[in-house]
Amino acid sequence: MTLQEAMQAVEAKMYEIVNSDVDVLRDASRHILQAGGKRVRPRLLLLAYAANGGQDFASVVPVAAAVELVHTASVVHDDINDHGVVRRGRPSVNAIWGRTFALLTGDYLFTKVYELMAPHRDLNVVLSEATVALVEGETLQASAVKNNDFSRQVYYDIIARKTAALFRSATRLGALLANAPESIVEAMGAYGFNVGLTFQIIDDVLDIVADSEKLGKTAGVDIAQGRGFAVAHGGMGQPGGVAVVEETFDDSMVAIRNKVMRGGAIDEAYRQAETFAQMAIESLRPLPDSPAKESLIEMANAMVKRER
Amino acid sequence: MTLQEAMQAVEAKMYEIVNSDVDVLRDASRHILQAGGKRVRPRLLLLAYAANGGQDFASVVPVAAAVELVHTASVVHDDINDHGVVRRGRPSVNAIWGRTFALLTGDYLFTKVYELMAPHRDLNVVLSEATVALVEGETLQASAVKNNDFSRQVYYDIIARKTAALFRSATRLGALLANAPESIVEAMGAYGFNVGLTFQIIDDVLDIVADSEKLGKTAGVDIAQGRGFAVAHGGMGQPGGVAVVEETFDDSMVAIRNKVMRGGAIDEAYRQAETFAQMAIESLRPLPDSPAKESLIEMANAMVKRER
């Protein structure tokens, strides 16, 4: 099975497992899955597995699917809290089915994760830790907005938990499934963690500079909700800065966006993202050369340059 | 360790595991846990374990705690969808912390379930199946209200999934942890399932006849939301019946409550509950006599008579 085939098998596995006879759960789950997404996390897991000598892609597909489902579930719940109406270029579950069913669909997807992970004793711990971190990161973010305390330190704590922890678990799981020694598992975790930081910083930049159509989700959400890189680095949301808590993207939001774009925050974001990408690549040093290792290096670099 | 001590250990385990450094998650989780609750599910698990010869209560405490946390998580999410403001005699998480943090607290509790269950390979499957069923039951209920289709058949499908499935998993898990043979595991599952149906029917009756203070949660929610035993058996919510979809408990709700109470629905509910309790007790026949078996019989009977 090639990487390409494995990624298709991950897709099929996710689609197949959300087979509830309760129409809403099945339809809403498949709606969000069919909308696609970048599938970065399962790809990282598979590459980490291959880069450590793993050869049986078929056996790791369910775990890769589980990692992506954690992300998918969190996305469905995020769109409730953020009032996001566009996700992956389609209406969000929340927009189509409403809040109650979106909440239940997210719960359903989270539950299916553990159905997939049930046979994997120790790996379960790795994924549940990452899922706890993800929920904690989302909570810290909502608290920071509420308390108008979006300092840089808080920003990094948030993205470490809400994004980088799941990336870290993906690459650790790949290494563990390939029976890599502990030091390598940790090195792979460091790679995933730093790639996750890169990914989230660029995500936040794109939220500022891209429009919704290109992005495939509601743009400007971070500024509208008073959070994210722009707010942490642009002086908004901090004492003495411009507090941004409205949830509609009106003219004042455009003004703030323009202000951020004129300032140095975007450049700083790219520098930070580049630094984390290089740290990620550095973590791969102990691995022997292989096509999978090359792909991991390419992915870290591409993460800085992505436009959606 | 006595049953009483084991129940205290379950309590301590739940309290201890929700130890996030994110204040809201820790505080909201401990708020709902400290409010208490009947703790029927872990008690059933422990008794099913003891009735099958299990002697090491300490070893099953984490699994009993996990089952109760599934229920606790679902309660937190229910209160978002139902706008419930009182739960276990205290303000709901939703009422104190708001919708966003209630959603995240529920996610957090669900995730902690799998942290507890991670070491248990096969048991994980049992609990994840029950959790899927629970979410499906809640979804069927919301769909039935939305589509104004709350027939008796739909009602039983809903309570089988949203309540009885988790009760069934509790008693099956107890038997599995005691290494009971498969036929006994299934018998214990049938006991739990029927006790769960009894429990939910009486819950629905109490929602009609009790007041909020005695009940420890917002009463009248079912009628207010157009669902539950009264609606399924009282002619409301069905074609030609009285559609009840408002979410406030106003004078018209009181009128409907009175109508239901004058009709035969309450008596019928008690007859049904009694029947399921007897079926539950019948399932225990293959077990040798023991104090734990006696307690299981008592619990089934007490379930019909409970007033809160």
How high is the pLDDT of residue B284? 98
pLDDT beyond 70 at B182 = yes
How high is the pLDDT of residue B253? 66
Q: Quick one: angle between helices B182-209 and B165-177, nearest 10?
A: 150
Decide which of A188 and B226 is more confident.
A188
Distance in angstroms (rounded) separating the CA atoms of residues B163 and B204: 12
Ordered DSSP codes for B208-219: HHS-HHHHTS-T
How high is the pLDDT of residue A235? 52
φ and ψ at residue A50, rounded to 5 degrees? -65, -40
How high is the pLDDT of residue A31? 96
Decide which of B219 and B25 is more confident.
B25
Q: What's the ipTM?
A: 0.89
φ and ψ at residue B90, rounded to 5 degrees? -130, 165
CB pairs under 8 A between A and B: 126
Domains along the sequence of chain B with CATH: 3-305 (1.10.600.10)
What residues of chain B lie within 8 A of the CB of A144, using their CB? Answer: none
**pTM for this one?**
0.90
Range name among A215-219, A272-276, B112-116, B246-250 with the lowest pLDDT average = B246-250
Task: Give A186 to chain B, closest Cα distance, Å.
Answer: 20
pLDDT beyond 60 at B83 = yes
* ∠ Cα B223 B225 B227 (to 5°): 65
Q: Do A257 and A223 form a contact (C-beta atoms < 8 A)?
A: yes
Distance in angstroms (rounded) separating the CA atoms of residues B57 and B65: 12
What residues of chain A lie within 8 A of the CB of B107, using their CB? Answer: 74, 77, 106-107, 110, 135
Q: Does B245 touch chain A (CB under 8 A)?
A: no
Q: Does A129 touch chain B (CB under 8 A)?
A: yes
Distance in angstroms (rounded) separating the CA atoms of residues B134 and B27: 25
Which of A48, A304, A81 lies closest to A188, judged by CA? A48
Average pLDDT over residues B192-207: 94
Terminal alpha carbon distance of chain A? 28
Is residue B228 very low, low, confident or very high in pLDDT (cuts 50, 70, 90)?
confident
Q: Does A133 touch chain B (CB under 8 A)?
A: no
What residues of chain A lie within 8 A of the CB of B112, using their CB? Answer: 128, 132
Q: Do B22 and A108 touch (CB under 8 A)?
A: no
Residue with tokens 């009840």: B244
Range name among A89-103, B118-132, B204-218, B247-261 with the lowest pLDDT average = B247-261
What residues of chain A lie within 8 A of the CB of B22, using their CB? Answer: 136, 139-140, 143
How high is the pLDDT of residue B256? 67
How high is the pLDDT of residue A234? 61
**Per-residue model confidence as pLDDT tens digits over A222-243:** 777 777 776 776 654 443 333 4
H or E segment and range at residue B38: none
Average pLDDT over residues B66-90: 90
Distance in angstroms (rounded) separating the CA atoms of residues A267 and B264: 72
Range name among B15-24, B27-36, B201-210, B294-303 with the lowest pLDDT average = B201-210
pLDDT beyond 70 at B242 = no
How high is the pLDDT of residue A246? 39
Q: Do A140 and B23 touch (CB under 8 A)?
A: no
Q: Do B125 and A111 touch (CB under 8 A)?
A: no
Residues of chain A short of pLDDT 70, as ranges, are 212-219, 230, 233-256
By C-alpha distance, the chain A residue nearest B114 is: A128
Ordered DSSP codes for B130-182: HHHHHHHHHHHHHHHHHTT---HHHHHHHHIIIIIHHHHHHHHHHHHHTT--H
How high is the pLDDT of residue A168? 98
pLDDT beyond 80 at B29 = yes
Average pLDDT over residues B74-97: 88
The tokens for B58 are: 């300490």
Strand positions, DSSP E, B43-116: 86-87, 90-91
